[in-house]
């Protein structure tokens, strides 16, 4: 072998390693080990909700005292209790570790589906590496909330949506009964899929079944209590609309402040107009969702393919839920992973811009929560500016998505291969 050939051999081996499946899986393990360590050891109590709230709910139910969503109205849909209860499998002392293992296993299933069983394509490889980078940028919150359970379920559902829409409908509906946001993905699937009647029928039938089991367990109207619980919330400090009041605090206004709600365990804005703004978020969200839905219907009616319509439509609906939201919790950013991964699988270069925007939103989020969250609560100008930047990035993401959905209905292209 020549000297040039000897030099080329190690380089080729590195290329094969990075381009194959081994390197992504090694990176997956390292990323999740890092995030698990952060959740257990980092400042700011990243797993505060898991160990301080979820565990209490699970223990109360296990002791026969109170079953959330059954015996009392709850802020989450009924299936959210499944992973919370499952994390008690090895006892209360190991609740946090069990939760992290459970979420990691769900992520591993989604990662395996993303990489696929055939030859690893460039698009799927790019999507897999992006997701790992996104998780690192988002930080411990990527694993330490109930949303972390729904993201891999939603991702698998979206990845199966083109070839197996009925399976996708089941997964996305189950996800919506853990945390509501995947319902937006169900809506996108109904619009973009040619088998929309089947998808809608499965979603409705499965929802009725879940409600029926809840009623048999004695829930009564508590099974839908999460609707009322969410409607009664105030304007949370991380909500996009809260930026306007936070800047008033920065400017020295004495009529605006941040207060803690013991009813729902969150920090909220207290000031003139804050309650009215919180009340307006629900109709604003409905109008935004309707507008995006109509754009999606237009695109499909004008011949837009599934590959062109579904990713930006799903992403736009998710971002509307984030922007027109009175809560705005940092874990909501995790939702972006599912539609962006789908977009990268179908149209890697086209989805480069939203991928960068979403990653930037994730980084802004980790810089605020959990490490320096107190600075935002104190309305420190730098952190209010950081939150404002995050909101601006989300607005840009929505603008890109809406434009992409519109363009999907203005020119026709052949269906793209997903690899």
pLDDT of residue 372: 92
What pLDDT is stored for residue 223 in this prediction? 85
pLDDT tens-digit map of 342-375: 999 998 899 999 999 999 999 999 999 999 999 9
Q: Are 267 and 259 in contact (CB under 8 A)?
A: yes
| Verdict on whether the full-model pTM lies above 0.75 | yes
Q: Given this model, what pLDDT does residue 121 score?
A: 86
User: Residue 370 phi/psi, 5° resolution?
Assistant: -100, -10
> For 268, phi and psi rounded to 5 degrees?
-130, 160
Give the 3-state DSSP-derived string for 341-386, with helices as H, strands as E and coil as C.
Answer: HHHHHHCCCCCHHHHHHHHHHHHHHHHHCCCCHHHHHCCCHHHHHH
Q: Which residue has the tokens 């400042």?
A: 43
Give, as one character, the DSSP assignment of residue 68: B
The whole-number pLDDT of residue 281 equals 92
Low-confidence stretches of the chain (pLDDT < 50) are 8-9, 11-12, 414-419
How much is the pLDDT for 55? 97
pLDDT at position 224: 86
Q: What's residue 409's pLDDT?
A: 83
pLDDT of 270-290, one tens digit each? 999 999 999 999 999 999 999
> Can you give the pLDDT at residue 19?
61
The confidence score (pLDDT) of residue 232 equals: 67
| Total Cβ atoms within 10 A of residue 255 | 10
pLDDT at position 404:
96
Please give the Cα distance from 390 to 395 (Å, whole number).
Answer: 9
Closest listed residue to residue 185, CA positions, set 199, 195, 205, 197: 199
């Amino acid at each position: 072998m020549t000297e040039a050939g000897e030099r080329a051999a190690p380089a080729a081996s590195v290329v094969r390693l990075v381009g194959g499946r081994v390197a992504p899986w090694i990176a997956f393990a390292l990323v999740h080990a890092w995030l698990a360590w952060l959740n257990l050891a980092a400042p700011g109590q990243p797993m505060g909700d898991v160990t301080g709230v979820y565990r209490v709910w699970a223990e109360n139910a296990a002791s026969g005292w109170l079953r959330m969503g059954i015996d009392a109205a709850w802020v989450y849909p009924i299936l959210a209790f499944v992973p919370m209860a499952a994390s008690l499998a090895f006892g209360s002392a190991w609740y946090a570790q069990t939760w992290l293992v459970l979420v990691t296993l769900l992520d591993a299933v989604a990662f395996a589906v993303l990489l696929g069983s055939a030859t690893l394509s460039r698009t799927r490889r790019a999507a897999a590496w992006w997701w790992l980078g996104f998780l690192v940028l988002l930080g411990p919150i990527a694993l330490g909330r109930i949303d972390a359970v729904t993201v891999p379920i939603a991702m698998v559902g979206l990845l199966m949506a083109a070839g197996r829409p009925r399976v996708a409908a089941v997964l996305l509906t189950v996800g919506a009964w853990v945390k509501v946001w995947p319902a937006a993905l169900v809506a996108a699937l109904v619009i973009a899929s040619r088998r929309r009647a089947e998808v809608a029928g499965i979603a409705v039938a499965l929802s009725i079944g879940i409600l029926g089991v809840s009623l048999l367990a004695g829930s009564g109207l508590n099974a839908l209590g999460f609707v009322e619980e969410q409607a009664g919330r105030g304007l949370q400090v991380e909500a996009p609309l809260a930026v306007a009041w936070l800047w008033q605090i920065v400017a020295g206004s004495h009529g605006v402040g941040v207060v803690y709600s013991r009813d729902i365990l969150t920090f909220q804005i207290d000031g003139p107009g804050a309650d009215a703004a919180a009340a307006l978020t629900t109709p604003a969200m409905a109008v935004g969702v309707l507008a995006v839905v109509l754009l999606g219907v237009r695109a499909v009616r004008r011949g837009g393919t599934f590959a062109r319509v579904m990713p930006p439509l799903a992403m736009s609906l998710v971002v509307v839920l984030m922007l027109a939201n009175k809560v705005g919790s940092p874990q909501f950013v995790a939702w972006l992973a599912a539609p962006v991964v789908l977009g990268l699988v179908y149209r890697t270069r086209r989805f480069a811009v939203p991928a960068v925007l979403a990653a930037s939103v994730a980084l802004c989020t980790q810089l605020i929560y959990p490490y320096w969250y107190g600075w935002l609560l104190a309305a420190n100008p730098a952190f209010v500016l950081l939150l404002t930047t995050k909101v601006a990035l989300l607005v840009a993401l929505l603008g890109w998505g809406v434009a992409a959905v519109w363009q999907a209905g203005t020119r026709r292209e052949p269906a793209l291969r997903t690899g």
